């Protein structure tokens, strides 16, 4: 299934938290699952329209663009069916830093070390961000708390792995690299 086809499940899942306008839905996706699931927000309204045609969501009120969308019973059933399927894949990463390092012997001396230092700073900021999110989620009184903690801790684990890799890469450059 293509990525736009998966957008429907991000939308359905977010709507399980209650009715939302398209704008609020976009913000909720960005602030929550956006840490690990990037959406093209240009697809949001077409996806909502398609879901409405399929009877998986409906608008409250008079179908004005400001009226909130809500998930239907059929939408909840579709979400549950998707949740029961195995994830097709973890999308491959496009990592510009790794691309630069791969061709690093052509860089000016010190450039890659500078890139790694800035990368480490961004990772430290991300670790602080995820630690703050973990504290917020841990304090939540929600039936979703356990699942939210699992995703936040995934982010923390990835950042931790990134920091370890960064330290190893810097050490390897110091030991072996002419740059």
pLDDT bucket at 34, cuts 50 / 70 / 90: confident
pTM, whole model, 2 decimals?
0.75
pLDDT given at position 131: 97
Mean pLDDT of 136-150: 95
C-alpha 22/C-alpha 53 separation (Å) is 16
Mean pLDDT of 122-140: 96
For 138, residues 6+ apart whose C-beta sits below 8 A from its C-beta are: 145, 149
pLDDT bucket at 61, cuts 50 / 70 / 90: low
CA 36-149-56 angle, 5° bins: 60
The partner residues of 86 in beta bridges, in order of sequence, read none
pLDDT given at position 62: 57
pLDDT given at position 87: 78
Mean pLDDT of 97-107: 86
pLDDT at 16 over 90: yes
**Domain spans in the chain, listed from the N-terminal domain onward:** 3-83, 96-176
pLDDT given at position 69: 97
C-alpha 12/C-alpha 9 separation (Å) is 5
Enter the CATH code of domain 3-83.
1.10.10.10
């Amino acid at each position: 299934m293509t990525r736009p086809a998966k957008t429907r499940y991000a939308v359905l899942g977010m709507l399980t938290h209650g009715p939302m306008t398209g704008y609020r839905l976009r913000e909720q996706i960005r602030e929550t699952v956006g840490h690990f699931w990037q959406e093209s927000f240009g697809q949001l309204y077409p996806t909502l329209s398609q879901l409405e045609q399929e009877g998986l969501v409906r608008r409250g009120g008079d179908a004005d663009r400001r009226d909130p969308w809500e998930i239907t019973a059929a939408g909840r059933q579709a979400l549950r069916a998707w949740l029961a399927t195995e994830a097709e894949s973890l999308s491959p990463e496009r990592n510009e830093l790794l691309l630069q390092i791969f061709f690093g012997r052509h860089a000016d001396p010190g450039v890659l070390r500078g890139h790694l230092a800035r990368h480490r700073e961004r990772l430290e900021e991300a670790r602080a961000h995820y630690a703050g999110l973990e504290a917020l989620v841990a304090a939540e009184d929600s039936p979703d708390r356990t699942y939210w903690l699992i995703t936040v801790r995934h982010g923390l684990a990835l950042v931790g792995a990134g920091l370890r890799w960064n330290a190893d890469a810097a050490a390897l450059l110091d030991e072996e690299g002419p740059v």
